[in-house]
Structure 1
Amino acid sequence: MERRIKENIRDIKSLKVQGARNVAKAAIQTLMLQATLSKAKNLNYFVRELIALKEVLAYSRPTEPMMRNLLDDAAEFLTTKAKEVKTIDELRNALIKREKEVLDRLDADAKKLYEFGARLIPKDATVMTHCHSSTVVNILKRAKEINRGMKVIVCETRPRYQGRITAAELCAAGIDTTLIVDGASNMFMKEANLVLVGADSVTSRGDLINKVGTSALAHIARMHDVSFYSAAELFKYSRKTFYGELEKIEERDKKEVWENPPKKLKIRNPAFDVTAAKYINGYITEVGVIPPQSFFALATEKLGIKLF
């Protein structure tokens, strides 16, 4: 495996690449890079090589269905197109052209989502958010552009403090931002008009899988009668949940929590948790703001998923 391919996989796995959408794009770009660098001598080996890489990428971050969906889509195109062409160059060029178009459509869809999200935020509102989501940051930037005049409260998001990334980006954009420790979210929720978070995955029931702490934030928001929204492209649908398989919750290294803990101390470090659909007012998507119960139907239609 080429050095650049290994580095890309390591960056995805180590969280150097942040945000479900950025992870998905990085995975597709890595697949395209492998297609460019491949030294395969025949079509079958070329296809097997890319399918093997697709599997490695898919398992580098277990709770990333957007990445899996895009990789599965690319693999399906690859195997189908391989039956229609005669040379590796034909297949390579067709794959790269097609995946560039997919990435362009993702960017176009994201802009639609930003607009829907920005217009959902009331003028002079205070928004609370959690972790780092490039989608949420772009919604808030767009809201500022259309003079929403909002303030943002950001939870720091232990143990890797991704909330600091969000806070820094919002400050750089000139948005009135306050960073709080995670345990203070209940204290500050009374100042919020709505909670806005990203999404790593959405299940068939409309439940949200996102950075650990999201579920607690949703419960606190309900206690304070504050609306809770998640920004999620339809590609974040986890198709395997339709068949009853649960989305795997990634557990990360305990050293992220405590570098040198006391001996025999048990440390758990889940990266994500599940927020039940009943605590979610709506999902902000590229087709509009929708109730959790509608996500499944719209996602399967957009992705062209055949469930049976």
Structure 2
Amino acid sequence: MSERYFTAVVREENTLTPQSISSIVDVDDSQQFDIVNCYKGFLEANPDIPMPIAAIESLIELIKHSKATTLSEFMKSLEEGSDLLKSSTRNPISLSAGTDLFLRFVTRTSHDVTNLDACKEHLMESGKVLVEKAIAVRHKVAELGVQFIKDDAVILIHSYSRVVMQLLQRAAACKKRFKVYVTESRPSSLGLRSAKTLRKSGIPATVILDTAVGYVIGKVDAVFVGAEGVVENGGLINAIGTYQLAIVAKAANKPFYAVLESYKFLRLFPLNQYDLPTHTPELLSFPDLDNRFSNIIGRMKLNDNHGNNVDQDETDEIEDYESNNPTVDYTPPEYITLLCTDLGVLTPSGVSDELIKLHLY
């Protein structure tokens, strides 16, 4: 693995220690190691841990519990563990970035170590160092991104991104004055969490409807979004609604910045929305869902300005409707102004160069 990937990063204080890891993963030697539960355990124990890093930590634990006696068995068990993690979630984009990066690291390391036990020990120690440094890269991203926020700026963000939150908080700490519009980001409504976080930090934040983006874009100076993954051509995979936000920003001639950690780079090359390796709802098949939604609109009184509540049956139908919609979308590189990463500020075309360095050198 390229040393450049972890250059100039600092160790984060809240990094999970080996002791805390062992308390999360308590597996009897007589039982088969459950990598999915291990992954979920990391996420529950530390809500701020990125999914790619939780996936890498889970693979490190798999190495610790591996009973493989040959290198081929060992590599196969890691690949199967990676596939199991990916299949355990509806949206494996962010998780896949971590597993693919670590498997590449394992493949390259295994060629340099002849003894399997020594190889396992080396991978576990190197993996822990990798995790410690990878978690801390948000600090560097925030430092680099502050330059794009000017005094008295109006910023528009989408959904909730930890690295975007850290960037905005860092800008506020640098005494920059700015205001933030936050999309509600249905169906998760994570924009409400973003607004709450920003207000606690003393940053003025207003939540807007997803459908109000075109209305407010004229007052906006720049758009900042996070990412679940960045693909080979510099395109972005992020929370549903990011693509249409980018289209509006492009039409209004507003800069659109993606803020992310480089361990979210993915070796994918989607050509359209339907090439993503996620659960793809059958939106184009027009099943009974269309009539059911019409019935909901006819009967529900949610947001009718009269304060009426929605019946439980109607709420269940709404949730069912949402489950049949995508959770992420793909934003092509031509809509992205710059990507702010721990490897530096990149143009979309520069992502492929960095992927080559990560995976080939």
After TM superposition, the score normalised by the length of structure 1 is: 0.81
Show the counterpart of 1:300: 356
Point out where structure 1 has 5 or more consecutive residues left out of the alignment: none
2:142·2:166 contact (CA, 8 Å) conserved in 1?
yes
Corresponding position: 1:274 with 2:336 = no
After superposition, give the CA deviation of every residue in 1:109-158 in whole Å (9 maximum; x if it has no partner): 33221111112111121111111111111111111111111111111111
Distance 2:47 2:154 in 1: 25
**Corresponding residue for 2:343?**
287
How far is 1:78 from its partner?
A: 3.6
The equivalences for 1:115-130 within 5 A come to 115-130=143-158
Q: Give runs of aligned pairs for residues 52-67 of structure 1, distance below 5 A.
A: 52-61=80-89, 64=92, 67=95
Correspondence list, 1:1-308, <5 A: 5-10=35-40, 22-36=50-64, 38=65, 40=67, 42-44=69-71, 45-61=73-89, 64=92, 67-79=95-107, 81=109, 84-86=113-115, 88=117, 90-241=118-269, 246-251=275-280, 259-261=315-317, 268-301=324-357, 303-305=358-360
Q: Distance in 2 between matches of 1:266 and 1:125?
A: 34
SS at match of 1:240: coil
Aligned partner of residue 304 in structure 1, secondary structure? helix
Cα 1:95–1:176 shift into 2, 3 Å: same
In structure 2, C-alpha distance between the alignment counterparts of 1:247 and 1:145, rounded to whole Å: 38
Flag the 1:107–1:39 CA change in 2: closer, same or farther, 3 A.
closer
Aligned to 2:12: none
Once residues 189 and 262 of structure 2 are traced to their aligned partners in structure 1, the CA distance between those partners, rounded to angstroms, is 27
Cα deviation, 1:73-116, whole Å, max 9, x if unaligned, reads 4334445555625453x333312211122123323433221111
Contact map agreement 2:92 2:277 (CA 8 A) in 1:
no
Q: Distance in 1 between matches of 2:82 and 2:158?
A: 30
2: distance between equivalents of 1:234 and 1:3?
Answer: 29
Deviations along 1:260-282, whole A, 9 cap, x unmatched?
339x9897411111222222111
Tell whether the 8 Å contact from 2:53 to 2:135 is kept in structure 1 after alignment.
no
Decide which moves more: 145-154 or 165-174: 165-174
Superposition CA RMSD, Å: 3.6
Q: Distance in 2 between matches of 1:59 and 1:71?
A: 12
Further displaced range: 104-113 or 171-180: 104-113
Contact 1:196–1:231 under 8 Å retained in 2 = yes
**Amino acid paired to 2:186:** R
Q: Which amino acid aligns with 2:161?
A: S
1:16/1:223 CA distance change after superposition, 3 Å: farther
The residue identity in structure 1 corresponding to 2:132 is D
Q: Report the TM-score, using the length of structure 2 for normalisation.
A: 0.71
Deviation at 1:283, TM superposition (A): 0.9
| 1:144 maps to amino acid | A
